[in-house]
Chain A
Amino acid sequence: MRDALGAVQRVLVLGGGSDIGQAIAARLAAPRRAAIVLAGRSVAAGDLASRTGSDVAVEWFDARAVGEHRSTLDDLWAAHGGFDVVVVAFGVQFDQADAEASPARALEMAETNYLGAVSALLECSRLLRAQGHGAIVVLSSVAAERPRRSLFAYASTKAGVDSFALGLADALRPDGVHVLVVRPGFVRTKLTAHLKPPPGPLATTPDAVADVVARGLERGARVVWAPPAMRWIMSLLRHLPHAVFSRLPI
């Protein structure tokens, strides 16, 4: 159970190999050594257990195998006695040029980031609703806020899941289930190692994202940005006239 000050006792990460997912799990586990379950296709837990002092388990989960989601999640719930927080952290990001040259790549992003997330979110919603409490952390992206020429294939998948999760947040509130949408900017991770980071303080780290998520969960936020200043930058970018926006070197 979550306690009165927001400390949780059991955390599930879908896309358990994700650097951001693991950082969030470690951060949420810290106050009361919460048990962590990392679920994914090939998860390296690394030193997460020794670093957090938590029990860490690794389980199978394939975001694209939507037909298996129900049974996989039911089994996870039964095996681990439920979860206080589910972090939906899976996702893939290919270069825009790749995605345009090869529709299969674009589709893989859509299947994983959007279809997989819709399916996993609905199955988790069902289980959390039955449980009567819990939180879902959905990793979106600042890219979801306005499509850019350089990133739109990926951005559209995140826009889809972002929109879905915001609606889900309203749907689940009466059930005591909290959905938090996280919009990170550029995060230095395995996933982005091949990409050129933006200048200065706009690139962030998984640990910084985890801090923002922990605070957002504590205060019951609907959306958080990481770094928090991205909120104002994106607000500005969203309102730029298209003629100006399309000429920006981003």
Chain B
Amino acid sequence: MPDAEANRRLLSGWGRTSPSAAVVHTAVDGDDAVKAASSPPPRGVIARGLGRSYNDAAQNAGGLVVDLTGHSHFLSFDPASGIVRAGAGVSIADLIEVCLPHGWFPPVTPGTRHVTVGGAIAADVHGKNHHGDGSLARFVDSITLWTPATGVIEVGPDAEPEIFWATTGGLGLTGIVLDATIRMRRVESSRMTVDIDRAADLDAVMALMTEGDDDYLYSVAWIDCQAVGGSLGRSVLTRGRHALVSELEPGDRRTALAVSPVRAVPAPPWVPSGLVNRLTVGAFNELWFRKDPPRARGVVQDHGWFFYPLDLVSGWNRMYGTRGFVQYQCVVPFGAEDALRGAIERLTRSHAASFLAVLKRFGPGTPGPLSFPSAGWTLALDFAVGPRHLAGLLDELDVRVTEAGGRCYLAKDGRADPALVPVWYPRLAEWREVQRRLDPAGVLTSDLERRLDLLGRGGPRS
């Protein structure tokens, strides 16, 4: 590649930790991506979308990174059936913008709309509807995938299911997703009707969720990880569904399918490390806990606010300062509530300031060997990098989660012990077999893969 040096860039994940340098090829379309990936440098290739993985999943130090965001074309969209075939670089925001005016919404969406279809498949993302609907892979009819061994192929739950399931949640290591066919969700309006409950403690919120989640399409609880004693785990539970036209104010009915503007206030360009600390998080938590009434029913919210409150501040990841932050997300099976309680108690005691602590119930997982969600409770936390006890604390959480039969989300992990991965994902060996068939020469790799030795090449590599 003659332009290699000119296109060398430092890349990091959304957490802004562990940057590494790679040659970035910005593909204009699928053919261009395939061409670039077909002659990889010695340190291999990985695809990248909008860089929203918190960790090093879309980095490839010293190698090639194929940026698919230029492949943001809609190949087809049928407004009657809601089936859309979108280039890998199409974002959730693009899907909403194109499909929502016709009454179709993404079937699964993570907490930001700035993720690409390719990245969402590679992470097998989940949303607030996982308890009833499962992860994104459940709504994908087919994927156009390039792999080193097969070239471009079509895979789906019925065609080459092994490859399909290895690719959903496969962290980009089975090949490059070029486009995908997704079944969208029929909605009458772009608004949400939302019920809000404040829960005094962890047991209360878990009871509310266990009893009531099935009545809601979407459900998620925000936990105050600094509340101690009797208030341990005090929470705000937000549950909702897409509003019917009849539920809107008469004046809003004409614009029932209006798309929330993707407008955002920029975060300051530089923030000192340490701004997100116990005091600021404590103050925020108090405000957040009190911002809604203790109990509200049928509140109409805009989908932008309901799903993507963080998108309102562009570059919010900079708020954690120059050293960045890590996201920790685990799941423990139903029945291991004690382990979850123990973990939250431990966190609270450690005084580690987690700005965002989110609790949700997962439904059953998919057949994807590396897909993260599985039936149980999932807890997601953010931590600013810096406090010296953080590494030990997270290792301790890993032990609790592992002993409870749970696991962590590889698309977010930035620091796990590689030895835990085969325990968390017992079908790793099976996945590696499929992976090796698609990539016998070992061309596909990433910083995440090297760090955790996901491909099983005899240990972590530099």
- What mask results when residues 382 to 410 of chain B are scored 1 for a CB within 8 Å of chain A, else 0? 00010000110010000000000000000
Q: Are A176 and B385 in contact (CB under 8 A)?
A: no
Q: Are B415 and A176 in contact (CB under 8 A)?
A: no
Q: Are A82 and B462 in contact (CB under 8 A)?
A: yes
Q: Are B55 and A1 in contact (CB under 8 A)?
A: no
| Segment touching A, from B15-23, B238-246, B363-371 | B15-23
CA–CA, A33 and B410, complex, Å: 21
CA–CA, A106 and B257, complex, Å: 81
CA–CA, A9 and B461, complex, Å: 8
Kindly state whether residue B376 has any CB partner on chain A within 8 Å.
no
Q: Are A4 and B414 in contact (CB under 8 A)?
A: yes
Q: Of B20, B326, B385, B394, which is within 8 A of A132 by CB?
A: B20
Q: Are B462 and A176 in contact (CB under 8 A)?
A: no
Q: Are A2 and B18 in contact (CB under 8 A)?
A: yes
CB distance from B238 to the nearest CB of A (A): 29
Q: Which of B2-22 contact A (CB under 8 A)?
A: 8, 10, 15, 17-22
| Segment touching A, from B56-64, B142-150, B227-235 | B56-64
Instruction: Count chain A CB atoms within 10 A of each CB in B19, B22, B63, B460 and give the residue with the most.
Output: B460
Report the contact-size class of chain B (Cβ under 8 Å from the partner).
35 or more
- What mask results when residues 7 to 21 of chain A are scored 1 for a CB within 8 Å of chain B, else 0? 101100000000000
- What mask results when residues 219 to 233 of chain A are scored 1 for a CB within 8 Å of chain B, else 0? 110000000000000
Report the contact-size class of chain A (Cβ under 8 Å from the partner).
20 to 34
Q: Which of B60-75 contact A (CB under 8 A)?
A: 60-63
If A4-B414, A7-B415, A10-B462 touch, whether A133 touches B326 (CB-CB below 8 Å) is: no
Q: Of B63, B417, B462, which is within 8 A of A1 by CB?
A: B462
CA–CA, A234 and B43, complex, Å: 43
Q: Of A1, A176, A219, A220, which is within 8 A of B451 by CB?
A: A1
CA–CA, A83 and B20, complex, Å: 14
Kindly state whether residue B106 has any CB partner on chain A within 8 Å.
no
Instruction: Count chain A CB atoms within 10 A of each CB in B17, B62, B417, B418 and give the residue with the most.
Output: B62
CA–CA, A5 and B345, complex, Å: 23
Q: Are A176 and B324 in contact (CB under 8 A)?
A: no
Kindly state whether residue A123 has any CB partner on chain B within 8 Å.
no
Kindly state whether residue B213 has any CB partner on chain A within 8 Å.
no
CB distance from A6 to the nearest CB of B (A): 8
Q: Of A1, A3, A6, which is within 8 A of B61 by CB?
A: A1
If A81-B462, A131-B61 touch, whether A3 touches B415 (CB-CB below 8 Å) is: yes
A84 surroundings in chain B (CB, below 8 A)? 462
CA–CA, A162 and B415, complex, Å: 32
Q: Are B20 and A4 in contact (CB under 8 A)?
A: no
Kindly state whether residue B323 has any CB partner on chain A within 8 Å.
yes
Q: Which of A117-176 contact B (CB under 8 A)?
A: 129-134, 174-176
If A5-B414, A7-B391, A133-B62 touch, whether A82 touches B18 (CB-CB below 8 Å) is: no
Q: Of A32, A132, A174, A177, which is within 8 A of B43 by CB?
A: A132
B8 surroundings in chain A (CB, below 8 A)? 174-175
Instruction: Count chain B CB atoms within 10 A of each CB in A3, A9, A175, A219 and give the residue with the most.
Output: A3
Q: Are B326 and A1 in contact (CB under 8 A)?
A: no
CA–CA, A134 and B18, complex, Å: 10
Kindly state whether residue A67 has any CB partner on chain B within 8 Å.
no
Kindly state whether residue B450 has any CB partner on chain A within 8 Å.
yes
Q: Are A133 and B324 in contact (CB under 8 A)?
A: no
Q: Of B21, B60, B385, B447, which is within 8 A of A5 by CB?
A: B385
Q: Which of B422-462 contact A (CB under 8 A)?
A: 447, 450-451, 459-462
Nearest neighbor of A11 in chain B, beta-carbon distance: B462
CA–CA, A130 and B56, complex, Å: 18
CB distance from A241 to the nearest CB of B (A): 37
Instruction: Count chain B CB atoms within 10 A of each CB in A84, A129, A130, A174 and give the residue with the most.
Output: A130
CB distance from A30 to the nearest CB of B (A): 10
CA–CA, A6 and B414, complex, Å: 10
Instruction: Count chain B CB atoms within 10 A of each CB in A5, A35, A129, A175 and give the residue with the most.
Output: A5
CA–CA, A82 and B459, complex, Å: 12
CB distance from A19 to the nearest CB of B (A): 25
CA–CA, A7 and B17, complex, Å: 12
Kindly state whether residue A103 has any CB partner on chain B within 8 Å.
no
Q: Are A82 and B461 in contact (CB under 8 A)?
A: yes
Kindly state whether residue A31 has any CB partner on chain B within 8 Å.
yes
Instruction: Count chain A CB atoms within 10 A of each CB in B418, B450, B462 and give the residue with the most.
Output: B462
B385 surroundings in chain A (CB, below 8 A)? 4-6
If A81-B461, A133-B447 touch, whether A1 touches B21 (CB-CB below 8 Å) is: no
Give me 12 other A-B pairs in contact (C-beta within 8 A), A4-B324, A132-B60 excluded.
A1-B447, A1-B462, A3-B17, A4-B18, A4-B385, A4-B415, A5-B390, A5-B415, A10-B460, A130-B62, A133-B18, A176-B19
B-side residues, CB < 8 A to A, are 8, 10, 15, 17-22, 43, 55-56, 60-63, 322-324, 326, 385, 390-391, 394, 414-415, 417-418, 447, 450-451, 459-462
A-B contact pairs, 16 of them (CB 8 A): A1-B18, A1-B460, A1-B461, A1-B462, A3-B415, A4-B324, A5-B17, A9-B461, A10-B460, A10-B462, A35-B459, A82-B461, A131-B462, A132-B60, A177-B21, A219-B323
